[in-house]
Amino acid sequence: MGKMIRMKMSDGADIAVYQVEAAGERRGGLVLVQEIFGVTDHIRELCDEYAADGYDVLSPAIFDREHPGFEADYTGPDYNRAVELARDLHPFTQSLDDAQTCIDALKDKGPVFITGYCYGGSVAWALAGISDDLTAASCYYGSLVPTVYADQVPKCATIAHFGRYDAGIPMEGVEALIEKAHPTAQIFVYDANHGFNSDRRKDYHEPSADLARERALALFHACGG
């Protein structure tokens, strides 16, 4: 449904962004932030699905500066390269800036929402805590959410989704996050593993993926989207 366009970011870099326009009545804008694996066919499919629900969607290829056109599989050398990009080569703050640039491109037309998966889930939560231009956020299994950004209170209505059996995000941290009871945030735990939303992964859990998406859409609708 969508297409890759080029957008100039705040640092002057020209990067690829997957753009897809809302089908039917427009509900708002949505920035969808990738996993560490790039703007893959899975990410583009998610963008298309949200567009079918009435959202203009932008998904920036945030590693384009370091590795233009990067799309990786979930295993092998591709996985190692994805980890290197996310942890060593690409500044996390640049991802926040890129997502904000996409928000800026959408905000004059109505409410803007954000969602993200894994790495993108951390981006979505972190940006919800600093951006004045977001209406709501839905954050999937971001490892930095219950650690680095646990004390950061989202400025907008925010939900976060975690898998109970996610070895990379221990439940102790998620439970501690829940106990903080941030007034703008709600934390959901699913009987699933990391990456449960992706039907390309071995840990895909359809009931959890469907429920999380229902909750995201319900949040967006409740906030005017």
Read off the pTM: 0.97
Digit-coded pLDDT (tens) for 167-212: 999 999 999 999 999 999 999 999 999 999 999 999 999 999 999 9
Number of helices (H), then strands (E), in the chain: 6, 8
Torsion of CA 15, 71, 195, 43, to 10 degrees: 60
Tens digits of residue pLDDT in 92-140: 999 999 999 999 999 999 999 999 999 999 999 999 999 999 999 999 9
How is 61-90 classified by DSSP, letter by letter?
-TTTTTSTT-B--SSHHHHHHHHHIIIIIS
Q: Which residues contact 86 (CB under 8 A, 6 or more apart)?
A: 36, 63, 119
Q: What percent of the chain stands above pLDDT 90?
A: 96
Nearest CA-CA partner of 38 in 14, 11, 4: 4
What kind and span of H or E run contains 20?
strand 14-20
Token reading at 12: 């002057």
Residue 181 burial class via C-beta count within 10 angstroms: exposed 0-12, middle 13-18, buried 19 and up: exposed
> Residue 46 is encoded by which pair of tokens?
């998610």
Which residues 6+ apart lie within 8 Å of 55 measured at CB? 22, 26, 27, 28, 29, 30, 113, 220, 225
